[in-house]
Structure 1
Amino acid sequence: MFVLFVFVLVLATGCSSDNTSESDGRWNHKEGFVVAKENGRVLVVRDRVDNIEAPLNEILEDASPNAIWLSVDKKGFDVVSVGDQVSINIHNGAIDQSYPAQASADVIKK
């Protein structure tokens, strides 16, 4: 009986996943690609966009649910361009869960 209990415990532990990782398909908002810029904000999606010239609504539809508007300081806004890969540091980890999501962050061009 003890061996069966240990086996089930090991199996359950091995099958569990960390919800903060991308192993379950969730985006961790640590990096992404800029697809739009406006009024001190940049729109970032998880994966590179093949056709960056596509209408924004199509890009957002394809990226769903992995898109976020980031309010950034002037330096961050001026440094990045549409198409750039960026690292993201969200202030206080606070994300508004609308779609696209929204947060204040620092972005660094990769």
Structure 2
Amino acid sequence: MSKIMMWLFVLLAWVAGPPLPDRAADERWDVKEGYVVAKEDGRVLAVRDKVPDRHTPLNRILEEVMPNAIWLTVSPADYHAVEIRDHIGISIPNGAINQSYPAQAAADVKKLNSP
């Protein structure tokens, strides 16, 4: 009986496999590039990686990308120059980032060519 239990345990461990790596734990987001997922009141919400489905609700996006999201207060020109889903370059002139979630900062943004 103990051999059967041992083999059952080995089989379950093999089927389950190792846990999936958490990208956020592997490396920190440098907040120099991102993707726009929302715009409101002179701010753009940027996340680290492109969101595959444009119809995903914002609260679900924020749950999935945690902690890699930041609200950026931008100039009116920058606000109007970028659209949701754009790949953007981010410059935070004073380097100050409020570490709430999503994080917050004043920034300059520019639209980048998609990779």
TM-score by length of 1: 0.78
Aligned twin of 1:75: 77
Comparing 38-47 with 24-33, greater Cα deviation is found at 24-33
Aligned to 1:93: 95
Structure 1: 5+ residue stretches without partners: 1-21
Kindly, what percent of the aligned residue pairs are identical?
Answer: 58
**Superposed CA RMSD:** 1.5
Corresponding residue SS for 1:32 = strand
Runs of 4+ deviating beyond 2 Å: none
Q: Which residue of 1 is the match for residue 36 of structure 2?
A: 34
1:46 and 2:44 matched: no
TM-score (norm 2): 0.74
How many correspondences in the alignment?
89
Structure of larger gyration radius: 2
Gaps spanning 5+ residues in structure 2: where?
1-23
Separation (CA, whole Å) in 2 of partners of 1:48 and 1:36: 13
**Residue identity opposite 1:42 in structure 2:** V
**Aligned pair 1:64/2:62, yes or no?**
no
